[in-house]
Structure 1
Amino acid sequence: MLGAIPGATLGKWIDAWSRRMPRTPLVLREIAVSDQRSALDADDLDAALVRLPIDRADLHVIPLYDEIPVVVCSAESHLTAADELELDDLAGEVVIAPADDVLAVTAPDAAPAAFDPPATTADAVEIVAAGVGVLIVPMSLARLHHRRDVAFRPLRDGPTSTVALAWHASRTTPAVDTFVGIVRGRTANSSRG
């Protein structure tokens, strides 16, 4: 079983797995970033796509790709006039940080929120859609929660978010080795699989 954090883009690897291992279905389970280490420690996951940083004790971790940060705002926001934004462009804006925030970006001169932080990124997007504040997330989360009444713009000086493949070193199986080979770009004809 493969765990995956919200927004992880793994379609090409699932396709490669299906071609290479047609008799072994790849079972996916979504895991929250806040629970990614405990999900890996449970016995039911073979590996997981996680967001770094993660406690690497007893884990093998392969960084896969970096995601750029974006600012999610109302489709009617003045911020949509720009192709890209910087943190200074958010001066005076309410920057919403949901409980499941994965970037923890602090925008200088942002206005304080007059409400408690929402529980999830999806809840934060609903607030943004209503024209109250902005949200800073990796691009995949902006795409995952996209709606017609919101827009997003790249944040040039924001932190990237690295997605990695992780698994317990003591639980490396032939199936895990095969998946590792797939994410590393090995072909089915490679001597390492």
Structure 2
Amino acid sequence: MNIIKKVFAAVALFAVSATFVSCGEDAVPKPKAFLRLDYPVEDYVLYTGKCPFTFAFNSQAIISNKGNCNFTLQYPRMKATIYLTYKPVEGNLEMLLRDAQKLTYEHVIKADAIQELPFVNDMQNVYGMFYQVGGDAATNAQFYATDSTRHFLTGSMYFYARPNYDSLMPAASYIKDDMRNLMETLKWR
């Protein structure tokens, strides 16, 4: 009988402790969360060096002249760089256009889509194409701009990270806006 009392006492103790441990608030699933990345408001400054063009760029970028009017605009906080390459047009406009388009379409292997956005600014004599590259391509945006007779400028954005479009999208969107602004403010001399 002593064993029955011990078993009964153990079962009763377990039941009472289980009641106290299990009592509490109902489990509520947590809402989905998204990474929030805040970037500073754009503050554009004008590049007016010795090159045959001027443009406005984001003051958050570090500009470096690599010689022959080729530039890098580095965004250290986003681990990204815009590469600007200038070439004079010397009867080779068709080749320059073909090379710029070829550079963009080399990313078609990894890209989900490439959207072409024509750019025309008759007042400043600037004509070109802005490419938005979707998917896990090495670059998310490229452009070229020309006056069709003397000047040709290309720009490409690259990140120093594995190209994962979902993760890079906020930074890529921010820099794409800067690239569009660069095209819109471009003036030939």
Higher helix share: 2
> Shorter chain as normaliser: what TM range?
under 0.3
Higher strand share: 2
Larger relative CO (CA 8 A, sep 6+): 1 or 2? 1
Who wins on radius of gyration, i.e. which is larger? 2
So what's the TM-score if we normalise by structure 2? 0.28
So what's the TM-score if we normalise by structure 1? 0.27
